[in-house]
């Protein structure tokens, strides 16, 4: 059986579009968001792609502990 986390990481890395959701996140510092968005644009990514990548990286780091 394929590990779902590994499958999600693989899909994100291939830039395949898994099922997407519109999500609103409250409490994000505006300056942090604008810096994050600027970095995403520099890397040719949407904010959604960058957030997904950041979430997967965070989950992976938690899994390794």
Give the start-to-end residue ranges of the domains of the chain: 4-64
DSSP calls for 13-62: HTT--PPP------S--HHHHHHHHHHHHHTT--HHHHHHHHHHHHHHHH
Q: How far apart are CA 55 and CA 63, in angstroms?
A: 12
The three-state secondary structure class of 65 is coil
Q: How confident is the model at residue 15 (pLDDT cuts 50, 70, 90)?
A: low
What is the reported pTM? 0.64
Task: Quote the pLDDT of residue 16.
Answer: 53
Residue-wise pLDDT tens digits, 17-61: 556 788 899 999 999 999 999 999 999 999 999 999 999 999 998
10-18 mean pLDDT? 63
CB 47 within 8 A of CB 40: yes
Q: How confident is the model at residue 2 (pLDDT cuts 50, 70, 90)?
A: low
The three-state secondary structure class of 2 is coil
């Amino acid at each position: 059986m394929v590990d779902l986390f590994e499958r999600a990481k693989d899909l994100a890395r291939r830039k395949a579009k898994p099922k997407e959701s519109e999500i609103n996140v409250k409490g994000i510092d505006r300056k942090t968001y604008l810096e994050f968005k600027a970095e995403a644009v520099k890397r040719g990514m949407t904010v959604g792609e960058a957030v997904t990548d950041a979430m997967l990286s965070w989950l992976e780091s938690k899994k390794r502990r």
